[in-house]
Amino acid sequence: MNLEAQIRQLAHTSKQAARILASARTKQKDMALNTLAGLLRNEQEKILSANAMDLDKARENGLDQARSERLRITPETIEAMAAACEEVAAMADPIGAIEDMRNRPSGIMVGRMRIPLGVVAIIYESRPNVTIDSAILCLKAGNAVILRGGSEAFHSNKILAELISRALEGSGLPRAGVSTLPTVDREAVSLMLKLDEYIDVVIPRGGEGLIRAVVNQASMPVLKHYKGVCHIYVHEDADLDVALEIVHNAKVQRPGVCNALECLLVHQKIADRFLPMLSHRLGQEGVLFKACERSLELLGPDAQPATDDDWGFEFLSLTLAVRVVEGQDKAQDHIARYGSNHSEAILTADYSRAMRFVREVDASAVFVNASTRFNDGGQFGLGAEIGISTSKIHAYGPMGIKELTSAKFVVLGQGQTRS
Protein backbone atom coordinates (compact mmCIF):
# COMPACT_ATOMS: atom_id res chain seq x y z
CA MET A 1 0.00 0.00 0.00
CA ASN A 2 1.53 3.35 -1.02
CA LEU A 3 1.66 6.36 1.33
CA GLU A 4 -1.41 8.08 -0.13
CA ALA A 5 -3.49 4.93 0.34
CA GLN A 6 -2.17 4.54 3.90
CA ILE A 7 -3.12 8.07 4.88
CA ARG A 8 -6.55 7.78 3.29
CA GLN A 9 -7.19 4.49 5.11
CA LEU A 10 -6.08 5.98 8.42
CA ALA A 11 -8.41 8.96 7.98
CA HIS A 12 -11.29 6.70 6.97
CA THR A 13 -10.75 4.53 10.06
CA SER A 14 -10.63 7.64 12.24
CA LYS A 15 -13.98 8.76 10.82
CA GLN A 16 -15.50 5.41 11.74
CA ALA A 17 -14.04 5.64 15.25
CA ALA A 18 -15.44 9.16 15.61
CA ARG A 19 -18.98 7.82 15.18
CA ILE A 20 -18.43 5.39 18.04
CA LEU A 21 -16.82 7.98 20.30
CA ALA A 22 -19.63 10.47 19.64
CA SER A 23 -22.09 8.12 21.34
CA ALA A 24 -19.73 6.65 23.95
CA ARG A 25 -20.92 6.79 27.54
CA THR A 26 -19.28 9.29 29.86
CA LYS A 27 -18.30 6.47 32.23
CA GLN A 28 -16.49 4.66 29.44
CA LYS A 29 -14.55 7.75 28.37
CA ASP A 30 -13.60 8.55 31.95
CA MET A 31 -12.41 4.98 32.47
CA ALA A 32 -10.03 5.38 29.53
CA LEU A 33 -8.71 8.68 30.94
CA ASN A 34 -8.10 7.27 34.42
CA THR A 35 -6.51 4.14 32.96
CA LEU A 36 -4.16 6.34 30.95
CA ALA A 37 -3.19 8.27 34.11
CA GLY A 38 -2.17 4.99 35.73
CA LEU A 39 -0.22 3.84 32.68
CA LEU A 40 1.71 7.11 32.55
CA ARG A 41 2.81 6.71 36.16
CA ASN A 42 3.56 2.99 35.86
CA GLU A 43 5.55 3.33 32.64
CA GLN A 44 7.55 6.40 33.70
CA GLU A 45 10.94 4.79 33.12
CA LYS A 46 10.04 3.77 29.57
CA ILE A 47 8.80 7.28 28.81
CA LEU A 48 11.95 8.91 30.19
CA SER A 49 14.15 6.45 28.28
CA ALA A 50 12.36 7.21 25.01
CA ASN A 51 12.63 10.94 25.67
CA ALA A 52 16.35 10.61 26.39
CA MET A 53 16.79 9.13 22.91
CA ASP A 54 15.04 12.15 21.40
CA LEU A 55 17.12 14.59 23.45
CA ASP A 56 20.36 12.87 22.38
CA LYS A 57 19.28 13.12 18.75
CA ALA A 58 18.30 16.77 19.24
CA ARG A 59 21.78 17.61 20.54
CA GLU A 60 23.37 15.86 17.57
CA ASN A 61 21.19 17.87 15.19
CA GLY A 62 21.86 21.19 16.94
CA LEU A 63 18.25 21.81 18.00
CA ASP A 64 17.98 25.30 19.53
CA GLN A 65 17.58 25.76 23.27
CA ALA A 66 13.93 26.83 23.20
CA ARG A 67 12.81 23.76 21.25
CA SER A 68 15.04 21.46 23.31
CA GLU A 69 13.37 22.79 26.45
CA ARG A 70 9.93 22.06 25.01
CA LEU A 71 11.06 18.56 24.04
CA ARG A 72 12.23 17.53 27.52
CA ILE A 73 10.09 15.22 29.68
CA THR A 74 10.77 15.04 33.42
CA PRO A 75 9.09 13.01 36.20
CA GLU A 76 7.21 16.23 37.02
CA THR A 77 6.02 16.46 33.40
CA ILE A 78 4.72 12.90 33.55
CA GLU A 79 2.91 13.55 36.83
CA ALA A 80 1.37 16.70 35.32
CA MET A 81 0.17 14.69 32.31
CA ALA A 82 -1.33 12.02 34.57
CA ALA A 83 -3.00 14.65 36.75
CA ALA A 84 -4.44 16.28 33.61
CA CYS A 85 -6.00 12.94 32.63
CA GLU A 86 -7.68 12.70 36.02
CA GLU A 87 -8.78 16.33 36.00
CA VAL A 88 -10.37 16.00 32.57
CA ALA A 89 -12.06 12.75 33.65
CA ALA A 90 -13.60 14.58 36.61
CA MET A 91 -15.03 17.33 34.42
CA ALA A 92 -18.60 17.42 33.18
CA ASP A 93 -19.19 15.79 29.82
CA PRO A 94 -20.62 18.43 27.47
CA ILE A 95 -21.78 15.99 24.81
CA GLY A 96 -25.55 15.68 24.58
CA ALA A 97 -26.27 18.67 26.80
CA ILE A 98 -29.13 20.77 25.46
CA GLU A 99 -28.79 24.51 25.94
CA ASP A 100 -31.20 27.39 25.72
CA MET A 101 -34.41 25.47 25.01
CA ARG A 102 -37.20 27.93 24.07
CA ASN A 103 -40.89 27.76 23.22
CA ARG A 104 -41.70 29.37 19.88
CA PRO A 105 -45.08 30.90 18.87
CA SER A 106 -45.68 27.90 16.60
CA GLY A 107 -45.60 25.57 19.58
CA ILE A 108 -42.25 23.95 18.75
CA MET A 109 -39.41 23.94 21.24
CA VAL A 110 -35.98 24.87 19.89
CA GLY A 111 -32.68 24.23 21.65
CA ARG A 112 -29.06 23.46 20.85
CA MET A 113 -27.28 20.21 21.66
CA ARG A 114 -23.52 19.95 22.21
CA ILE A 115 -21.92 17.57 19.72
CA PRO A 116 -18.32 16.57 18.87
CA LEU A 117 -16.48 18.22 15.99
CA GLY A 118 -15.73 14.77 14.53
CA VAL A 119 -12.16 14.01 13.45
CA VAL A 120 -9.54 16.47 14.62
CA ALA A 121 -6.01 16.48 13.19
CA ILE A 122 -3.26 17.98 15.38
CA ILE A 123 0.11 18.94 13.88
CA TYR A 124 2.66 20.04 16.45
CA GLU A 125 6.37 20.45 17.16
CA SER A 126 8.65 19.50 20.04
CA ARG A 127 6.31 19.20 23.03
CA PRO A 128 5.46 15.51 23.65
CA ASN A 129 2.93 16.49 26.34
CA VAL A 130 0.74 17.80 23.50
CA THR A 131 0.23 14.14 22.54
CA ILE A 132 -1.47 13.52 25.88
CA ASP A 133 -3.31 16.84 26.13
CA SER A 134 -4.72 16.51 22.62
CA ALA A 135 -5.81 12.92 23.10
CA ILE A 136 -7.56 13.37 26.43
CA LEU A 137 -9.44 16.52 25.46
CA CYS A 138 -10.58 15.08 22.14
CA LEU A 139 -11.62 11.85 23.85
CA LYS A 140 -13.68 13.62 26.52
CA ALA A 141 -15.35 15.73 23.80
CA GLY A 142 -16.18 12.59 21.77
CA ASN A 143 -13.77 13.31 18.92
CA ALA A 144 -11.33 11.05 17.15
CA VAL A 145 -7.89 12.59 16.74
CA ILE A 146 -5.01 12.11 14.33
CA LEU A 147 -1.68 13.16 15.82
CA ARG A 148 1.37 14.27 13.90
CA GLY A 149 4.17 15.26 16.24
CA GLY A 150 7.55 16.58 15.19
CA SER A 151 10.28 14.21 14.09
CA GLU A 152 12.44 15.48 16.98
CA ALA A 153 9.99 13.85 19.47
CA PHE A 154 9.51 10.60 17.53
CA HIS A 155 10.38 8.13 20.31
CA SER A 156 8.57 10.10 23.02
CA ASN A 157 5.39 10.39 20.98
CA LYS A 158 5.52 6.73 19.99
CA ILE A 159 5.49 5.46 23.57
CA LEU A 160 2.81 7.95 24.63
CA ALA A 161 0.58 7.01 21.68
CA GLU A 162 0.95 3.33 22.56
CA LEU A 163 -0.16 4.01 26.14
CA ILE A 164 -3.19 5.92 24.85
CA SER A 165 -4.12 3.00 22.58
CA ARG A 166 -3.86 0.59 25.50
CA ALA A 167 -6.12 2.78 27.62
CA LEU A 168 -8.73 3.02 24.87
CA GLU A 169 -8.71 -0.70 24.17
CA GLY A 170 -8.89 -1.55 27.86
CA SER A 171 -12.01 0.61 28.16
CA GLY A 172 -13.80 -0.92 25.19
CA LEU A 173 -13.22 2.06 22.89
CA PRO A 174 -11.68 1.88 19.41
CA ARG A 175 -7.89 2.16 19.26
CA ALA A 176 -8.39 4.23 16.11
CA GLY A 177 -9.95 6.94 18.27
CA VAL A 178 -6.39 8.22 18.66
CA SER A 179 -3.99 7.52 15.81
CA THR A 180 -0.65 8.81 14.58
CA LEU A 181 0.67 9.28 11.07
CA PRO A 182 2.85 6.30 10.12
CA THR A 183 5.83 8.39 9.05
CA VAL A 184 7.57 11.71 9.75
CA ASP A 185 7.70 12.34 5.99
CA ARG A 186 6.18 15.78 5.32
CA GLU A 187 4.37 14.36 2.32
CA ALA A 188 2.12 12.48 4.74
CA VAL A 189 0.95 15.80 6.20
CA SER A 190 0.28 17.26 2.75
CA LEU A 191 -1.79 14.22 1.84
CA MET A 192 -3.75 14.34 5.09
CA LEU A 193 -4.58 18.03 4.65
CA LYS A 194 -6.56 17.24 1.46
CA LEU A 195 -8.87 14.71 3.13
CA ASP A 196 -11.68 17.03 4.19
CA GLU A 197 -14.24 14.27 3.55
CA TYR A 198 -12.83 12.50 6.64
CA ILE A 199 -11.16 15.20 8.74
CA ASP A 200 -13.33 17.99 10.13
CA VAL A 201 -10.73 20.41 11.47
CA VAL A 202 -6.96 20.72 11.75
CA ILE A 203 -5.09 22.44 14.59
CA PRO A 204 -1.42 23.30 14.01
CA ARG A 205 0.79 24.06 17.02
CA GLY A 206 4.32 25.29 16.50
CA GLY A 207 6.29 27.94 14.72
CA GLU A 208 4.74 30.52 12.45
CA GLY A 209 6.19 28.78 9.39
CA LEU A 210 4.44 25.51 10.24
CA ILE A 211 1.11 27.22 10.79
CA ARG A 212 1.25 29.19 7.54
CA ALA A 213 2.17 26.03 5.63
CA VAL A 214 -0.87 24.22 7.08
CA VAL A 215 -3.19 27.15 6.33
CA ASN A 216 -1.99 27.24 2.72
CA GLN A 217 -2.49 23.51 2.15
CA ALA A 218 -5.55 22.54 4.20
CA SER A 219 -8.89 21.86 2.54
CA MET A 220 -10.65 21.74 5.93
CA PRO A 221 -11.02 24.54 8.53
CA VAL A 222 -7.87 25.46 10.47
CA LEU A 223 -7.86 26.65 14.07
CA LYS A 224 -4.74 28.80 14.11
CA HIS A 225 -2.27 29.08 16.97
CA TYR A 226 0.01 31.79 15.62
CA LYS A 227 3.00 33.26 17.40
CA GLY A 228 2.80 34.69 20.89
CA VAL A 229 4.05 38.27 20.81
CA CYS A 230 2.96 39.18 24.33
CA HIS A 231 3.17 42.70 25.79
CA ILE A 232 3.00 44.17 29.27
CA TYR A 233 2.27 47.89 29.68
CA VAL A 234 3.41 49.43 32.98
CA HIS A 235 1.35 52.55 33.66
CA GLU A 236 2.65 55.48 35.69
CA ASP A 237 0.60 54.57 38.79
CA ALA A 238 1.67 50.91 38.95
CA ASP A 239 3.31 49.52 42.08
CA LEU A 240 6.86 49.22 40.71
CA ASP A 241 7.94 46.43 43.05
CA VAL A 242 4.92 44.34 42.07
CA ALA A 243 5.42 45.26 38.42
CA LEU A 244 9.02 44.06 38.57
CA GLU A 245 7.96 40.67 39.93
CA ILE A 246 5.30 40.27 37.24
CA VAL A 247 7.66 41.23 34.42
CA HIS A 248 10.35 38.91 35.80
CA ASN A 249 7.93 36.00 35.90
CA ALA A 250 6.52 36.69 32.45
CA LYS A 251 9.95 36.88 30.82
CA VAL A 252 12.26 34.61 32.81
CA GLN A 253 10.27 31.69 34.19
CA ARG A 254 9.97 29.93 30.81
CA PRO A 255 11.15 32.21 28.01
CA GLY A 256 10.66 29.61 25.28
CA VAL A 257 6.86 29.34 25.52
CA CYS A 258 4.16 31.23 23.64
CA ASN A 259 2.76 33.10 26.67
CA ALA A 260 6.14 34.52 27.72
CA LEU A 261 6.64 38.27 27.61
CA GLU A 262 8.33 39.56 24.44
CA CYS A 263 7.88 43.34 24.65
CA LEU A 264 7.64 45.67 27.63
CA LEU A 265 5.99 49.08 27.32
CA VAL A 266 6.75 51.60 30.08
CA HIS A 267 5.10 54.96 30.76
CA GLN A 268 7.57 57.79 30.28
CA LYS A 269 6.91 59.25 33.75
CA ILE A 270 8.27 56.16 35.54
CA ALA A 271 10.96 55.09 33.06
CA ASP A 272 13.79 56.76 35.04
CA ARG A 273 12.86 54.79 38.16
CA PHE A 274 11.61 51.49 36.75
CA LEU A 275 14.06 50.67 33.96
CA PRO A 276 17.20 50.67 36.15
CA MET A 277 15.35 48.32 38.52
CA LEU A 278 14.47 46.14 35.56
CA SER A 279 18.04 46.15 34.26
CA HIS A 280 19.43 45.04 37.62
CA ARG A 281 16.86 42.27 38.24
CA LEU A 282 16.58 40.78 34.75
CA GLY A 283 20.20 41.44 33.84
CA GLN A 284 21.20 39.00 36.58
CA GLU A 285 19.16 36.37 34.75
CA GLY A 286 20.99 36.94 31.47
CA VAL A 287 18.23 38.93 29.78
CA LEU A 288 19.32 40.96 26.73
CA PHE A 289 17.29 44.12 26.12
CA LYS A 290 16.42 45.42 22.65
CA ALA A 291 15.76 49.00 23.64
CA CYS A 292 14.23 52.08 22.10
CA GLU A 293 16.33 55.25 22.13
CA ARG A 294 14.81 56.52 25.40
CA SER A 295 15.18 53.22 27.29
CA LEU A 296 18.65 52.40 25.95
CA GLU A 297 20.36 54.89 28.24
CA LEU A 298 18.49 53.54 31.29
CA LEU A 299 19.07 49.81 30.80
CA GLY A 300 22.85 49.71 31.03
CA PRO A 301 25.31 47.28 29.40
CA ASP A 302 22.74 44.53 28.79
CA ALA A 303 20.91 46.69 26.25
CA GLN A 304 21.26 47.04 22.49
CA PRO A 305 19.47 49.47 20.17
CA ALA A 306 16.20 48.01 18.93
CA THR A 307 15.58 47.70 15.20
CA ASP A 308 12.22 47.84 13.46
CA ASP A 309 12.27 44.04 13.23
CA ASP A 310 12.44 43.70 17.03
CA TRP A 311 8.92 45.08 17.46
CA GLY A 312 6.43 42.26 16.89
CA PHE A 313 9.12 39.56 17.07
CA GLU A 314 8.70 36.34 19.06
CA PHE A 315 12.16 35.84 20.57
CA LEU A 316 11.39 32.66 22.59
CA SER A 317 14.58 33.36 24.51
CA LEU A 318 16.01 35.66 27.20
CA THR A 319 15.64 38.67 24.92
CA LEU A 320 13.16 41.43 25.70
CA ALA A 321 12.14 44.39 23.59
CA VAL A 322 11.59 47.55 25.66
CA ARG A 323 9.89 50.78 24.61
CA VAL A 324 9.06 53.93 26.56
CA VAL A 325 5.63 55.32 25.62
CA GLU A 326 3.80 58.57 26.33
CA GLY A 327 0.79 56.84 27.86
CA GLN A 328 -1.95 54.26 27.44
CA ASP A 329 -3.02 55.46 24.00
CA LYS A 330 0.47 54.93 22.60
CA ALA A 331 0.81 51.60 24.39
CA GLN A 332 -2.44 50.34 22.89
CA ASP A 333 -1.45 51.65 19.47
CA HIS A 334 1.79 49.67 19.70
CA ILE A 335 -0.07 46.50 20.73
CA ALA A 336 -2.59 46.91 17.92
CA ARG A 337 0.23 47.17 15.39
CA TYR A 338 2.65 44.55 16.68
CA GLY A 339 0.60 42.15 18.84
CA SER A 340 -0.38 38.66 17.73
CA ASN A 341 -3.76 38.42 19.52
CA HIS A 342 -2.28 36.11 22.14
CA SER A 343 -1.74 37.68 25.60
CA GLU A 344 -1.61 41.35 26.63
CA ALA A 345 -1.37 42.88 30.12
CA ILE A 346 -1.64 46.22 31.88
CA LEU A 347 -0.17 46.96 35.30
CA THR A 348 -2.05 49.82 36.95
CA ALA A 349 -3.81 50.88 40.15
CA ASP A 350 -6.57 52.66 38.19
CA TYR A 351 -9.71 50.52 37.77
CA SER A 352 -11.23 52.56 34.95
CA ARG A 353 -7.93 52.54 33.04
CA ALA A 354 -7.69 48.77 33.50
CA MET A 355 -11.25 48.25 32.27
CA ARG A 356 -10.56 50.41 29.23
CA PHE A 357 -7.57 48.19 28.40
CA VAL A 358 -9.72 45.06 28.84
CA ARG A 359 -12.43 46.43 26.52
CA GLU A 360 -10.21 47.84 23.79
CA VAL A 361 -7.20 45.51 23.48
CA ASP A 362 -7.78 42.61 21.08
CA ALA A 363 -6.18 39.41 22.38
CA SER A 364 -7.26 35.91 23.31
CA ALA A 365 -6.54 36.78 26.95
CA VAL A 366 -6.16 40.23 28.51
CA PHE A 367 -4.61 40.59 31.97
CA VAL A 368 -4.74 43.23 34.67
CA ASN A 369 -1.91 43.16 37.23
CA ALA A 370 -0.95 39.56 36.43
CA SER A 371 1.63 37.71 34.37
CA THR A 372 0.89 36.68 30.79
CA ARG A 373 2.17 33.22 31.76
CA PHE A 374 -1.31 32.46 33.09
CA ASN A 375 -2.72 32.13 29.55
CA ASP A 376 -2.92 28.37 29.74
CA GLY A 377 -5.77 25.87 29.72
CA GLY A 378 -4.71 24.27 32.98
CA GLN A 379 -4.40 27.64 34.74
CA PHE A 380 -7.82 28.68 33.42
CA GLY A 381 -9.47 25.54 34.79
CA LEU A 382 -9.85 23.71 31.47
CA GLY A 383 -7.87 20.70 32.69
CA ALA A 384 -5.53 20.90 29.72
CA GLU A 385 -5.48 22.64 26.37
CA ILE A 386 -5.20 21.57 22.79
CA GLY A 387 -3.76 24.94 21.83
CA ILE A 388 -4.32 28.66 22.20
CA SER A 389 -6.35 29.89 19.28
CA THR A 390 -5.39 33.38 18.10
CA SER A 391 -8.24 33.50 15.59
CA LYS A 392 -11.81 34.16 16.68
CA ILE A 393 -13.52 31.40 14.72
CA HIS A 394 -14.43 29.01 16.17
CA ALA A 395 -12.58 29.57 19.44
CA TYR A 396 -10.40 32.33 20.92
CA GLY A 397 -7.80 31.54 23.56
CA PRO A 398 -7.01 28.22 25.27
CA MET A 399 -9.06 25.40 23.81
CA GLY A 400 -10.46 22.90 26.29
CA ILE A 401 -13.25 20.35 26.07
CA LYS A 402 -16.08 22.72 25.19
CA GLU A 403 -14.00 24.39 22.46
CA LEU A 404 -13.70 20.95 20.82
CA THR A 405 -17.46 20.73 20.40
CA SER A 406 -20.08 22.39 18.25
CA ALA A 407 -23.83 22.62 18.66
CA LYS A 408 -26.71 21.47 16.52
CA PHE A 409 -30.30 22.68 16.72
CA VAL A 410 -32.81 20.29 18.26
CA VAL A 411 -36.50 20.89 17.53
CA LEU A 412 -39.26 19.20 19.57
CA GLY A 413 -42.80 19.29 18.27
CA GLN A 414 -46.23 17.73 18.71
CA GLY A 415 -47.37 17.54 15.14
CA GLN A 416 -46.82 21.18 14.18
CA THR A 417 -46.69 22.12 10.48
CA ARG A 418 -45.62 25.45 9.05
CA SER A 419 -48.30 27.65 7.50
- 354 with 206, same domain: the answer is no
Does 240 lie in the same domain as 327? Answer: yes
Is residue 252 within 8 A of residue 282, CB to CB? The reply is yes
Shared-domain flag, residues 271 and 147: no
What total of structural domains would you count in the chain?
Answer: 2
pLDDT single digits (tens) 362-407: 999 999 999 999 999 889 988 888 889 998 888 999 999 999 999 9
Structural domain contains residue 320: yes
Confidence class for position 357, pLDDT limits 50, 70, 90: very high
Within a domain: 54: yes
pLDDT of residue 315 exceeding 90, the answer is yes
Distance, CA of 117 to chain centre:
18
CATH of the domain at 171: 3.40.605.10
Inform me whether the pLDDT recorded for 65 exceeds 90: no
Q: Is residue 417 part of a domain?
A: no
Mean pLDDT, residues 256-282: 96
| C-alpha–C-alpha distance, residues 44 and 81, integer Å | 11
CATH number (domain holding residue 297)? 3.40.309.10
Contact 161, 178 (CB under 8 A): yes
Residues 151, 47 share a domain: yes
Domain containing residue 132: 3-225+389-412
In the sheet where 405-412 sits, what is the strand order? 98-103, 109-116, 405-412
> What pLDDT was estimated at residue 380?
94
Q: Residue 308 in contact with residue 321, Cβ under 8 Å? A: no
- pLDDT for the residue 360: 98
The answer to whether 324 touches 307, Cβ cutoff 8 Å, is no
Share of the chain above pLDDT 70, in %: 100
Amino acid at 131: T
pLDDT of 406 reads 96
